[in-house]
Amino acid sequence: MRVALLTGGGDCPGLNAVIRAVVRKGEREYGDDLIGFTNGWKGAIEGTTTPLDVEHCRGILPRGGTILGTSRTNPYKREDGVELVKKNLESHGIDAIVAIGGEDTLGVANKLSGEGVQVVGVPKTIDNDLSATDVTFGFHTAVQICADAIDRLHTTAESHDRVMVCEVMGRGAGWIATYAGIAGGAAEILIPEQEFDIDEVSERIKRRHDQGRYASIVVVAEGAKPKEGTIELSSGETDQFGHERLGGIANIVAEEIKERTGFDTRVTILGHVQRGGTPTAFDRVLSTRFGIAAIDAVHDGKFGHMVALRGDDIVTVSLEEAVAELKTVSPELFKSVAEPFFG
């Protein structure tokens, strides 16, 4: 078979490990001819490709980013987008696509599948907000990067008796903030799923410092939501999938805490450091398992499906189910494991 790969949306540690696994098994076991579309759906629209074979994939297992490039292009945002994708698949003689991406990239894959395109999805995102899989690859690495940063913030926070507000990614779901906050021993974790009351947050921090346990780490997800009528947030530009560019809420949270407590505050916005660099061993293995399963799914004719982790097993689930709704942090998990350590 002739199989095309593409990586879409924000890059993510483990993308190259998936590509390598698809190519290795596709070429060596199935005798496939593999090809890459460059820069996500943009390459599929414009017909820009790059050769992919075992030789091209040497040494990429530990490398962050994606050798195929990526973009946030949505074929459904231009009138001739889908038609062009189909035309390019035909002109390149491509039988199937392995689309590696998050809710946006796989949302497109799902729609295209409904229009007869043979596509299999692989769940990627540091945000871990895709449904139908226990975890997405890249999440584990992002959490480790954040937890390492929080560990470092603790010592400087204690030395200066400060409140450190650390902003992490997560616009609709606070998985990174929750896991990194728990792993890093944060005094407060603010996530999109649970509106926060800045007065209550400040009060708890004040009590903590008054008890002589100086220094607090506040982990805030970029999409955290203040209780209505408390803090005004400005809105930024949006991408082709309608997502707003976020970043900067930590500055506001730090100012508000300072105003209410009088404590010295500092801000660290981890930003794209969370997405860069080498994947953890866990993500390398998960990505490899996903890649192997994806090329198997192509040969099993499981089009319109996504590979997923369920317990210890890699399974296939429908793309429809995967993109139906964002997987958010459950109130039970937050209440039972994160909140007991607040204040």
Annotated catalytic residue within 127, 129, 283, 296? 127
In angstroms, give the least distance from the CB of 73 to ligand F6P.
Answer: 12
Residue 49 in 3-state DSSP? strand
In angstroms, give the least distance from the CB of 240 to ligand F6P.
Answer: 11
Pairwise CA distance, residues 181 & 143, whole Å: 9
Check residue 107 for interaction with ligand F6P (CB under 6 A): no
Burial call 14-28: b when 16+ CB within 10 Å, e when fewer? bbbbbbbbbbbbbbe
Check residue 106 for interaction with ligand F6P (CB under 6 A): no
Q: Give yes or no for a contact between 14 and 124, defined as CB atoms under 8 angstroms apart.
A: yes
Question: Is 313 an active-site residue?
Answer: no
Residues 6+ apart with CB under 8 A from 100: 5, 6, 7, 8, 15, 18, 19, 121, 122, 124
| Backbone torsions φ then ψ of 153, nearest 5 degrees | -65, -35
Pairwise CA distance, residues 255 & 227, whole Å: 16
- Closest to ligand F6P by CB, 157 vs 246, is 246
Residue nearest to ligand F6P (CB): 10
Q: Taking the mean position of all CA atoms in its chain, how far away is CA 241?
A: 15
Check residue 169 for interaction with ligand F6P (CB under 6 A): yes
In angstroms, give the least distance from the CB of 234 to ligand F6P.
Answer: 16
Residues 6+ apart with CB under 8 A from 175: 127, 128, 129, 139, 329
Residue from 9, 43, 75, 123 binding ligand F6P (CB under 6 A): 9
In angstroms, give the least distance from the CB of 126 to ligand F6P.
Answer: 5
Site residue total, ligand F6P (CB under 6 A): 12
Helices (H), 196-338: 198-210, 249-261, 281-299, 319-324, 331-333
Check residue 140 for interaction with ligand F6P (CB under 6 A): no
- Closest to ligand F6P by CB, 125 vs 216, is 125
> Which of 61-69, 86-94, 109-117, 166-174 is the region at the interface with ligand F6P (rule: CB under 6 A)?
166-174
Check residue 275 for interaction with ligand F6P (CB under 6 A): yes
Per CB under 6 A, residues contacting ligand F6P are 9-10, 102, 125-127, 169-171, 222, 246, 275
